Chains A and B, each alone.
Chain A
Amino acid sequence: MKSWIAFWNILKKDVKNYYLKPPNISWGIIFPLSWTLMQLFRSPGGNILELLPGLISMSVLFGTTSMLAVTITFERSGRSFDRLLLAPISLNVMVLAKIAGTILFGILNALVPVVFTSFFIDLGGVNWGLLLLAIFMIAITSALTGLLIAVSAKQVFEAQTFSNFFRFPMLFLCGLFIPISSLPLFLRPVSFCLPLTYGNDILKGAIMGTNTLSPLLSFGLLLVFAAALFTICRNNINRKWIL
């Protein structure tokens, strides 16, 4: 019960202090909206459904990775993060509470292009359960990637730089813009080491039914990624921040 009180209040504080701030709300809406509009203008006759998995993935990825990395680095530099490290709650609860706000923010970001495209096309054929599951799993793995970055960064600008270092290669290698089968042979193994590849594949399956892997396999692999990232983050925090 005590851990739950701490978890809930850390989440509430982060949502209130960071995610509900006007710049972040506008970023969360404007960024996915502009990407969607840009794609619509670029290929007016194109199939909007084909664009949707990419738009959703990008919205979650950009909404989560840098957000968590920046907020944690900010709290670390002001030493308010020490309060969490010194609280009588387990490191697991603290990590879960910190990523929970980002996951929620990422999910809401992902829903912007979905809602927007619903004005243009009929989304009746979408497998909503699978779609939400994919969004959730992409948000978890991206948030944990953000945390991994936060553990390595000392300054806010470093967190932003490291975020881009991870995000952009991931976008180009996960099959969003270029199908993995068209990538040079030596890059393909890298693609299969990225969680976004599997999230994107589930999204394609949920929206258009064009997934290349079984959703169950992709979901399982995303769980493995999430568990591995969580363990690495937790160990890194324990090793680097409790000197």
Chain B
Amino acid sequence: MGMVSVSNLKKTYGNFTAVDNISFAIEQGEIFGFLGPNGAGKTSTLNMMIGLSRPTAGEIAIDGIDVKRDAKKAQAIMGIVPDESNLYNEMDGFDNLCFCAALYGMRKEEREPRARQLLEQFRLQDAGKRPYKAYSKGMRRKLTIAAALIHSPQVLFLDEPTTGIDVESSRQIRDMILELKKKKTTIFLTTHYIEEAERICDRIAFIAEGRIVASGAVPHLMESVSHGHVIQFVTDKNIESLAMELQNHFAGSKVKTRAGNSLVMASNRRIPLFPVMEFFRSKGVEVYEARELHPSLEDVFVKLTGIESSVLKKDKEKGGRP
């Protein structure tokens, strides 16, 4: 059994099914990404996993603890970063961290050094004595993550950790997530940023309309959507007029021009480079670059979910940049 185990989880609100019979497991030290557009069921799933919402059906276990039966015991080993930074405006950064530590029963002599350590780790030591309400969005997000880590949880739940914050803070947060992985912290992360999921997650589940459409490691997901072999050629002159001739010359291939000096050749079989180069040379064209193209995770997402990537991009625009 993994560190996190979810089986046949379902959540309905009246006639609306927010989460529809999903199952997955996360191993210790793994970063598991939940990728989907707004309203796909990401936060509903997370809320059930952390004990803030009751499942309509299904089971959730965190390190073998049944969350439905013993949520408080499970919460003791969880760190939770909600989609909105939700610390106390009236308190400064240091006091906020100490208060969160006290909620986990940490004594003063444990929580104060730990709070200082986290402020330093997140480069917030200068802001530690400033009230939380005076923090920028990025600083708030970092302090909220620090608060979730105050008791050194075994499992960290991150709901859209980098939405709406600046590039530098996002980068710091991603680096911190990768650091935690090295320390064997298990991480469940929801996001609608495809690039973020691709960059840091060991495995990803695509969720759409409450269902997991596909899940697996990034290379595995890529392989699942085979699009044959694609090579892009960049040449010294305009080759638009040669596209059709090239396609006819190599049976079974499809050729599309991209700008004037570039074309893409696709085939279900491997494309032998030498004959293609010979073809270009015979036409007096010099090839500067030949590069194999792989499908992006975005292509995979679109193909598997049927959701246009523009939907995710709209969500991204609403939330800010990663």
A-side residues, CB < 8 A to B, are 1-3, 5-6, 8-10, 13, 16-17, 78-80, 82-90, 242-243
Q: Knowing A86-B75, A88-B73, A89-B72 are in contact, say whether A80-B102 is a contact too (CB < 8 A).
A: no
Q: Are B104 and A83 in contact (CB under 8 A)?
A: no
Are A6 and B103 in touch, CB under 8 angstroms? yes
Which one of B28-36, B87-95, B214-222 is at the A interface?
B87-95
Query: Which of B47-55, B279-287, B289-297 makes up part of the contact surface?
Result: B47-55
Given that A88-B75, A88-B76, A242-B51 are contacting pairs, would A3 and B105 also be in contact in the complex, using a CB cutoff of 8 Å? yes
When distances are taken between beta carbons in the complex, the residues of chain B under 8 Å from A78 are 86, 89
Cβ distance B159 to chain A, nearest Cβ, rounded Å: 11
Tell me which of A2, A13, A86, A90 contacts B105 (CB under 8 A): A2
Enumerate chain A residues within 8 angstroms of B51, measured Cβ to Cβ. 86, 242
B173 within 8 A of A: no
For the residues of B in contact with A, the DSSP-based class is loop
* Structural contact, B82 and A9, CB atoms closer than 8 A: no
Pairwise interchain contact A82-B105, C-beta atoms closer than 8 A = no
Nearest chain A CB to B63 CB, angstrom units: 13
Cβ-defined contact, A82 with B75, below 8 A: no
Instruction: Let me know if B99 is at the binding interface, CB within 8 A.
Output: yes
Given contacts A79-B86, A85-B52, contact A5 B73 (CB under 8 A): no
Complex alpha-carbon distance, A9 and B73, angstroms: 20
**A-B pairs with beta carbons under 8 Å apart, 9 shown:** A5-B107, A9-B103, A17-B90, A79-B82, A79-B84, A86-B50, A86-B75, A86-B80, A243-B53
Across-interface contacts of A3 in B (CB, < 8 A): 105
| B100 contacts A by Cβ under 8 Å | yes
Contact of A87 with B75 in the complex, beta carbons under 8 Å: yes
Rounded to whole Å, the gap between the CB of A202 and the closest CB of chain B is: 36
